[in-house]
Amino acid sequence: MSMASVDRVTIPAASKSSRTPRRTASGASLPAQGHPMVWLTAGMLGIALAMVIGLLLLVFVSGVSTFWPVPIVRFELVGGATHMGEVTRRESYEPAEDVVARLPVEALERAGRLLDSQGGVSHRELVRTGNYDLTNEHFNWVSDFEIADKTRPEWAVIFERLTWGRFYGEPVAFFLDGDQIANDPAGAWAQFKQYHRAVSQSRDRRYRLESRDIGHVNHLIEKARLDVRTQELRVEKAEQQYGAGSEEYRRALESLQEEREYAATIDAEAQLEYSRVRTEIDAVNAENARYQILMRISDGREVLVPLAEVVRGYPANRLSFFRKIGVYVSRWFEFFTANPREANSEGGVFPAIFGTIVMTLIMSVLVVPFGVIAALYLREYAKAGPLVSTVRIAINNLAGVPSIVFGVFGLGFFSYFLGGAIDQAFFAAKLPSPTYGTGGILWASLTLALLTLPVVIVATEEALSAVPSSMREGSYSCGASKWQTIKRIVLPKALPGIMTGMILAMARGAGEVAPLMLVGAVKLAPELPIDRYFPFIHLERSFMHLGFHIYDVGFQSQNSEAAKPMVFTTTILLIGIIVVLNLVAIRLRNRLNRRFVSSQF
């Protein structure tokens, strides 16, 4: 037998197949096609999508259910205490022995049987009892072994108040001018519904008088004071430059005297106007004070509640489905259009909506031109070399700098340095109170423009590099200059990519919080940076932002449990605003794409 035949006999067919990779119909091996990595990356992508979708669903479900009215439950405990309010959460736990031991003797046996039947585990409910001005408590835990009786009072009412949060009680009587005109729950509630709308309108009128009319009086007084202060500065300047005996100094003194006399006249007129407005406000307050409803709370005490303090009231256990929808819609409308109250845990977020949108739009208007110009220079004009390479590395590294660093830079450069210089040059009369030398919506927008500038530069460079060189060469061959080629050929073709960079910048900038805490965003700024006085739009003012509002309500509120639903609702709103802004930009990008990219030479 030859050596070749021995080799053929001793090598089994199975060994050959075991060393030969499986091949597809196209002849390529499966490992060469990367199937394991394809499945791995697809699995990781699926997990990531599931996490994102799950988070969005949690936020959405928790947010949309925030404003749905729930029944009021009254708990009578074995120790004699009572709690009445809305059940907000349920959970199971193992009670400590000393907690059970503190129960009355007659309740110990029942509690022991209940815990033994449940394996030593108790169920408890977190009840929002409100009435903080009377009880100093917002919530109370109620365990199942403590409950002697659990009912839903027919006439239990929720009052959402301007101050002190929610009020839970049962109507007893209604008073008009101190006289009792109803002495039963049904009659008292009927009187409440009859007068509450008119009282609410009077309260809104009082707010307009306080904010608009008294605000106008204060503006006139402040303007007169600043005019006098400006003239005083001119006198000081004339004395320093020309001397105390100069003609310029004398004329400055005469102008100062005239300004003081005019300011005194304005002040007298303003005081008369203030007295008139104050009298009108006192009349409104006196009218609203006529209406009061007597309420009985869970511990049996009776409390008079002025109707002017009630924003919304409803008998939670008597609502039909359609009336619940009415309360639900009313709460959403208030959330979108009203100012916040109760340390931002109640009311609306309209100032935060306005501040978020305006800041994002200003940021976009500022960052896109600078980003596009920088990318044009780097891609079309700059010659490759160490300096350009250093700039590109700096841009890439800038995208990884923590956002709080941009906030510190914005505070130091924009607010203190640039804003301080503007105050010295144009608002010296207001000093030491800063105008531009502190946080404001303009400085916040500039800070976030710097934060998102690398995103726009990188996206614009990629869009410019994607324009075929043949199009540039064709333009040059027709006699066009470099700028004409960029203006008429390159930029129109790159506009969709530039819009993509703007969309990414808007999405990131709208959700940033850390820099805003240093350069303008505040906890409460109900007055919008718009008024009827020149320059009408005041970008130097502080503002509210939805991202900062979420942080403040969720982590800085004195009553985080009550504010938790507002966190989810505001998060939904912030996500919705970002999505809407992005959809508008995407629609504009698609139109540009159809106009410029789809057209072929």
Whether the per-residue pLDDT at 91 is higher than 50: the answer is yes
Considering the domain architecture, whether residues 111 and 229 belong to the same structural domain is answered as: no
Residue 331 covered by a domain:
yes
Are residues 487 and 424 both part of a single domain? yes
In a domain, 30, yes or no: no
Q: How confident is the model at residue 31 (pLDDT cuts 50, 70, 90)?
A: low
Mean pLDDT across 434-451? 93
The whole-angstrom separation of Cα 544 and Cα 547 is 9
pLDDT of res. 434: 92
pLDDT digits (tens, 9 = 90+) for 296-320: 999 899 999 999 999 999 999 999 9
Task: Please indicate, yes or no, whether residues 90 and 223 belong to a single structural domain of this protein.
Answer: no
Domain match, 408 and 515 both: yes
Q: Is residue 273 part of a domain?
A: yes
Structure confidence at residue 76 (pLDDT): 93
Q: Is the pLDDT of residue 455 over 60?
A: yes
**pLDDT tens digits, one per residue of 571-592:** 999 999 888 888 888 888 888 7
Q: CA torsion angle for 64, 66, 67, 71 (degrees, to 10)?
A: 130
Are 147 and 204 found together in one domain? no
- Do the domain assignments include residue 46? no
The last residue of one of the domains, among 306, 321, 342, is 342
Tokens (6 digits) for 302: 């009776």
DSSP 352-404: HHHHHHHHHHHHHHHHHHHHHHHHHIIIIIPPSSHHHHHHHHHHHHHTTS-HH
| Mean pLDDT score, 254-277 | 93
Model confidence at 82, in pLDDT bands (50, 70, 90)? very high
pLDDT for position 519:
92
User: For residue 102, what are the domain limits?
Assistant: 73-155
| Residue 3 pLDDT | 42
Same-domain pairing of 365 and 439: yes
* 64 found inside a domain: no
**Domain presence at residue 204:** yes
pLDDT at residue 4, rounded to an integer: 43
**Looking at the structure, do residues 406 and 453 belong to the same domain, yes or no?**
yes
Q: Are residues 265 and 306 in the same domain?
A: yes
pLDDT in tens, 162-191: 988 899 999 999 999 999 999 999 999 999
Burial class (CB in 10 A: 0-12, 13-18, 19+), 8: exposed
Cα first-last separation, the chain: 74
Kindly state whether residue 244 falls inside one of the protein's structural domains: yes
Whole-structure pTM value: 0.86
Q: Which residues, other chains included, contact 141 with Cβ-Cβ below 8 Å and sequence gap of 6+?
A: 124, 125, 126, 127
Q: What is the spatial distance between Cα 152 and Cα 376, in angstroms, rounded to a whole number?
A: 70
Claim to verify: residue 470 and residue 539 sit in the same structural domain? yes
Q: Are residue 330 and residue 352 in the same domain, yes or no?
A: no
CATH number at residue 133: 2.30.30
Residues 428 and 573 in one domain: yes
Is residue 126 a contact partner of residue 141, using CB atoms and an 8 Å limit? yes
Mean pLDDT along residues 230-246: 88
- The reply to whether 142 and 225 lie within a common domain is no
Q: Is residue 42 part of a domain?
A: no
Task: Give the mean pLDDT of the chain.
Answer: 87
DSSP-assigned letter for residue 166 = E
The yes-or-no verdict on residue 19 having pLDDT over 80 is: no
Instruction: Give how many domains the chain has, as a whole number.
Output: 3
Q: Where residue 392 falls among pLDDT bands split at 50, 70, 90?
A: confident
Cis before 432? omega within 30: yes
